Structure 1
Amino acid sequence: MVHQYRNNGYNIVLDVNSGAIHVVDDVTYDVIPLFEAHTTGEIVAALKDKYKEEEIKEACEEVSELKENQELFTPDEYEDYIMDFKKRPTVVKALCLHIAHDCNLACRYCFAEEGEYHGRRALMSYEVGKAALDFLIANSGNRRNLEVDFFGGEPTLNFQVVKDLVKYGREQEKIHNKNFRFTLTTNGVLLNDEIMEFANKEMANVVLSIDGRKEVNDRMRPFRGGQGSYDLIVPKFQKFADSRNQNNYYVRGTFTHNNLDFSQDVLHLADLGFKQISVEPVVAQDTDDYAIREEDLPQLFAEYDNLAAEMVKRHKEGKDFNFFHFMIDLEGGPCVAKRLSGCGSGTEYLAVTPWGDLYPCHQFVGNEDFLMGNVYDGVKNTEIRDEFKCCNVYAKEKCKECFARFYCSGGCAANSYNFHGNITDTYDVGCELERKRVECAIMIKAALADED
Structure 2
Amino acid sequence: MVHQYKLNGYNIVLDVDSGSIHLVDDLVYEIVSLYEKSDCDGIVHALSDRFDHDDIRSALDDVQELVDQQKLFSHGDYPARLFDGSHSGASVESQSKEQYSLIEYPSCPDGDVATSYRKDNDIIKALCLNVAHTCNLDCSYCFAGQGKYKGEQALMSLETGKKAIDFLMERSGSRRNLEVDFFGGEPLLNWQMVKDVVAYARSIEKKAGKHFRFTLTTNGILIDDNVIEFTNKEMHNVVLSLDGRPHVHDQFRVDIGGKGSYVRIVPKFLELVKRRTRGTYYVRGTYTHLNTDFLNDILHMLDLGFREISMEPVVCRPEEPYALTDEDLPIIFEQYEKLAEEMLRREREGDPFEFYHFMIDLEHGPCIYKRITGCGAGTEYLAVTPSGDLYPCHQLVDDPSFKIGTLDDGVTELDLQNEFRKCNVFARDACRDCWAKLYCAGGCAANAFHMSGSLLGTDKFGCELFKKRIECAIMIKVA
Give the TM-score of the pair, scaled to structure 2: 0.91
Q: Give the aligned residue type for 1:41.
A: D
In structure 2, the residue matched to 1:233 is 265
| Residue of 170, 176, 193 corresponding to 1:138 | 170
The aligned residue for residue 206 of structure 1 is 238
- What SS is found at the alignment partner of 2:128? strand
Q: How many residues align?
A: 447
Give 1:45 deviation, angstroms: 1.6
Q: Deviations over 1:70-93 (max 9, x none)?
A: 321223425535351366432110
2:190 maps to: 158
Does the CA contact (< 8 Å) of 1:246 and 1:275 recur in 2? no
- The alpha carbon displacement at 1:332 in A equals 2.1
The list of structure 1 runs, each at least 4 consecutive aligned residues, that deviate by more than 6 angstroms after superposition, is: none
Aligned to 2:101: none
Pick from 442, 457, 460: which aligns with 1:428? 460
Match of 1:307 among 330, 339, 346: 339
CA contact (8 A) 1:241 1:247 kept: no
Judge which range, 246-255 or 303-312, deviates more.
246-255
Structure 1 letter corresponding to 2:257:
G
- Check if 1:90 corresponds to 2:122: yes
Which residue of structure 2 aligns with residue 419 of structure 1?
451
Q: Which residue of 2 aligns with 1:59?
A: 59
Residue 4 of structure 2 is aligned to residue 4 of structure 1: yes
| 1:33 to partner: Cα distance | 2.5
Aligned-partner SS, 1:285: coil
The aligned counterpart of 2:360 is 328
Q: For residue 207 of structure 1, give the secondary structure of its aligned residue in structure 2.
A: strand
SS in 2 for 1:330: coil
Q: Verify: 1:341 aligned to 2:350, yes or no.
A: no
Paired with 1:214 and 1:68, the residues of 2 have a C-alpha distance of 56
Aligned partners of 2:388 and 2:407 also within 8 Å:
yes
Structure 1 CA distance, aligned partners of 2:19 and 2:225?
Answer: 45
- Give the aligned partner of residue 30 of structure 2: 30
Change (3 A) 1:83 1:371: closer
Q: Map of 1:381-396 to 2, 5 A cutoff? A: 381-396=413-428
Gaps of 5+ in 2: 81-104
Q: Is the 8 A contact 2:236 2:279 kept in 1?
A: no
How many angstroms apart in 1 are the aligned matches of 2:418 and 2:253?
37
Report whether the alignment pairs 1:292 with 2:346.
no
> Given that residues 133 and 185 in structure 2 are in contact (C-alpha distance below 8 angstroms), is that contact kept between their aligned partners in structure 1?
yes
SS of equivalent to 1:97: strand
1:286-334 deviation per Cα after TM superposition (whole angstroms, max 9, x unaligned):
1111111111101111111111111111122222110111111122211
Q: Distance in 1 between matches of 2:334 and 2:37?
A: 34
Per the alignment, residue 154 of structure 2 pairs with 122
| Partner in structure 1 of residue 48 of structure 2 | 48
SS at match of 2:114: helix
Q: Distance in 2 between matches of 1:82 and 1:138?
A: 23
1:184 counterpart SS class = strand
Amino acid at match of 1:67: V
Give the match for residue 248 of structure 1. Answer: 280
- CA contact 1:91–1:139 (8 Å) conserved in 2: yes
Letter in 1 for 2:323: A
Q: Deviations over 1:99-129 (max 9, x none)?
A: 1001001111101100101111000000011
Which letter maps to 2:462?
A: G
* 1:178 and 2:178 matched: no
| 1:4-32 deviation digits (Å, cap 9, x = unpaired) | 00111111111112221111111100101
Q: Deviations over 1:217-250 (max 9, x none)?
A: 0001011111111111111111111212496000
- Per-residue deviation at 1:42? 2.3
Cα distance in 1 for residues equivalent to 2:241 and 2:392: 23
Task: State the AA in 2 paired with 1:397.
Answer: D
Does 2:39 correspond to 1:15? no
- Indicate yes or no: 2:283 matched with 1:258: no
Using the TM superposition, name which of 211-220 and 48-57 deviates more.
48-57
AA partner of residue 235 (structure 1): P
Alpha-carbon offset, residue 39 of structure 1:
3.1
Which deviates the most, 238-247 or 426-435?
Answer: 238-247
For 1:306 and 1:245, the matched residues in 2 are separated by 31
Higher helix share: 1
Distance 2:469 2:279 in 1: 23
* Maintained 8 Å contact 1:19/1:330: no
SS in 2 for 1:19: coil
The Cα offsets for residues 29-59 of structure 1, whole Å up to 9 and x where unpaired, read as 0101322454322211221122111111111
Q: Which has the larger displacement, 111-120 or 27-36?
A: 27-36
146-155 or 75-84: bigger deviation: 75-84
Is the 2:240–2:269 contact (alpha carbons within 8 Å) kept by the matching residues of 1?
yes
1:86/1:390 contact within 8 Å kept: no
TM superposition shift of 1:275: 0.8
Does the alignment pair 1:69 with 2:101? no
Residues 190 and 374 of structure 1, relative CA distance in 2, 3 Å threshold: same
Distance 1:427 1:246 in 2: 36
Q: What CA distance in whole angstroms lies between the structure 2 residues aligned with 1:246 and 1:201?
A: 7
Rounded to whole Å, the distance in 1 between the matches of 2:25 and 2:74 is: 21
What code does the residue aligned with 2:450 have?
N
- After superposition, the CA RMSD in angstroms is 1.4
Unaligned runs of 5+ in 1: 448-452
Match of 1:407 among 439, 447, 459: 439
Instruction: Using the aligned pairs only, state the percent identity.
Output: 55
Letter of the 2:443 counterpart: G
SS at match of 1:107: coil
Q: Which residue of 2 aligns with 1:450?
A: none
In the alignment, is residue 272 of structure 1 matched against residue 304 of structure 2?
Answer: yes
Counterpart of 1:107 (choices 139, 142, 153) is: 139
Q: Distance in 1 between matches of 2:135 and 2:311?
A: 21
Structure 1, 356-365 or 398-407: larger mean CA deviation: 398-407
